[in-house]
């Protein structure tokens, strides 16, 4: 049975290796559920997961906490934001921590990791670990991924990289990583930029440092943001329906470089007249969006090269922070890596 633990009632379990030397790095493990903790026989808690990892005591002194125990298809922006707040609180309360590891389901991992990347300043390492195969399967990938995440989080050199995701011995930046296959072990990739590093035989290698980091100071979030994908024959009805539902923002995955049928564009213009923030992302999954003249006149934003899922997360956080349309546009440009727009960024 899936369960959600009350926020503010976190379950802290004793440190797993109390006899370790104080020189051993301290890492805190936050469990949220997902395949890495699930499967036949009921879900495992964070402490149970840590007990499945061999050689853990030689890597770090690990404290564990169950934030939630749900399949990540049930994750919401509110839960994601409160998780980000929990991470920030832990770093404030525990100066001894080298880093934090979060176990998470793969269904919405890229969204949760990116929201934390936007909200939690890029200081000490925050590393997500997940699994494509349940813990009770003989060929489960969970313990290996978790051990790799703890290795990364324990290293001072992993500081300042933003939120990271590790599966299949690869290390990805939250801004770029996507799930591209339902069950394959190598499902998580960073299209066009590749992984930023790798774990090989217990050693952590960094190929490059992420350049497209952004921190938004958000006291809350705005979950009422919809994602609409255009298709052949789109007449704008989905956009009109979203606008009528009371959303504050809409991300439209348009054709190619920024193409949109006239009927759909008319619906976008109506949404903008209602004060709804609209951003265009390409449905191709790669490449930057260039806005047409009609879109520019309507005040549509380009999500640049962010995919629809991540563009939506930007709106969720930015609208919650009270950022206006011009400010959100600058966020998209900074996340795209535009050098002029990054001057003076966080």
The answer to whether residues 12 and 65 touch, using CB atoms and an 8 Å cutoff, is: yes
pLDDT band at 96 (very low <50, low <70, confident <90, very high): very high
What sign results for the dihedral spanned by CA atoms 288, 220, 30, 90? positive
- For 337, other C-beta atoms within 10 Å of its C-beta total 15
Residue 226 has pLDDT above 70, yes or no: yes
**pLDDT confidence tier of residue 8, bands split at 50, 70 and 90:** very low
| DSSP percent split of the chain into helix, strand, coil, nearest 5 | 30, 20, 45
- CA separation for the pair 5, 179 (Å, rounded): 26
Percent of the chain with pLDDT over 70: 91
CB 321, CB 217: distance < 8 Å: yes
Question: Reduced to 3 states, what is the DSSP secondary structure of residue 327?
Answer: helix
Token couple for 144: 């290996």
Give the catalytic positions in this structure.
Answer: 35
| Average of per-residue pLDDT across 174-194 | 97
- Region for 132 from its dihedrals, namely left if φ exceeds 0, alpha if ψ lies in -120 to 50, beta otherwise: alpha
| pLDDT for 19 | 39
Task: State the pLDDT at residue 41.
Answer: 52
- Is the pLDDT at 28 greater than 90? The verdict is yes
Residue pair 30/86 in contact (Cβ under 8 Å)? The answer is yes
Cβ contact 305:276 at 8 Å? no
Query: Alpha-carbon distance 113 to 164, whole Å?
Result: 8
Structure confidence at residue 22 (pLDDT)? 54
Return the percentage of the chain with pLDDT > 90, whole number.
87
Average pLDDT of every residue of the chain: 92
Q: Provide mean pLDDT across the span 14-34.
A: 72
Res 13 pLDDT > 80: no
Q: What domains sit in the chain, N to C, each tagged with a CATH number?
A: 11-206 (3.40.50.1170), 225-342 (3.40.50.40)
Average pLDDT over residues 131-157: 95
56 pLDDT more than 50: yes
What's the pLDDT at 23?
82
Residues 6+ apart with CB under 8 A from 334: 212, 214, 341, 342, 345
């Amino acid at each position: 049975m899936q369960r959600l633990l009350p926020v503010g009632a976190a379950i802290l379990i004793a440190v797993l290796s109390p006899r370790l030397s104080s020189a051993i790095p301290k890492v805190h493990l936050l469990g949220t559920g997902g395949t890495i903790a699930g499967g036949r026989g009921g879900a495992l808690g964070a402490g149970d997961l840590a007990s499945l990892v061999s050689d853990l005591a030689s890597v770090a002194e690990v404290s564990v906490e169950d934030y939630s125990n749900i399949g990540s298809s049930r994750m919401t922006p509110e839960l994601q934001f409160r998780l980000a707040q929990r991470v920030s609180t832990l770093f404030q309360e525990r100066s001894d921590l080298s880093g934090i590891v979060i176990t998470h389901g793969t269904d919405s991992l890229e969204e949760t990791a990116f929201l934390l990347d936007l909200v939690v300043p890029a200081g000490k390492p925050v590393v997500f670990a997940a699994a494509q195969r349940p813990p009770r399967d003989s060929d489960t990938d969970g313990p290996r991924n978790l051990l790799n995440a703890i290795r990364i989080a324990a290293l001072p050199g992993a500081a300042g990289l933003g939120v990271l995701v590790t599966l299949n011995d690869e290390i990805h930046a939250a801004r770029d990583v996507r799930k591209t296959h339902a069950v394959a072990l190598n499902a998580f990739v960073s299209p066009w930029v590749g992984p930023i590093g790798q774990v090989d035989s217990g050693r952590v290698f960094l190929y490059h440092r992420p350049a497209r980091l952004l921190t938004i100071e958000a006291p809350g979030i705005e979950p009422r943001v919809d994602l609409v994908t255009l298709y052949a024959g789109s007449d704008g009805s989905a956009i009109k329906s979203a606008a009528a539902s009371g959303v504050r923002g809409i991300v439209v995955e348009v054709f190619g470089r920024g193409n949109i049928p006239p009927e759909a564009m008319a619906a976008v213009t109506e949404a903008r007249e209602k004060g709804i923030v609209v951003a265009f992302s390409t449905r191709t999954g790669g490449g930057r969006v260039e806005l047409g003249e009609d879109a520019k006149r309507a005040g549509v934003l380009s999500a640049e090269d962010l995919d629809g899922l991540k563009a939506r997360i930007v709106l969720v956080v930015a609208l919650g922070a009270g950022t206006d349309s011009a400010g959100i546009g600058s966020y998209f440009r900074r996340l795209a890596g535009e050098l002029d727009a990054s001057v003076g960024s966080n």
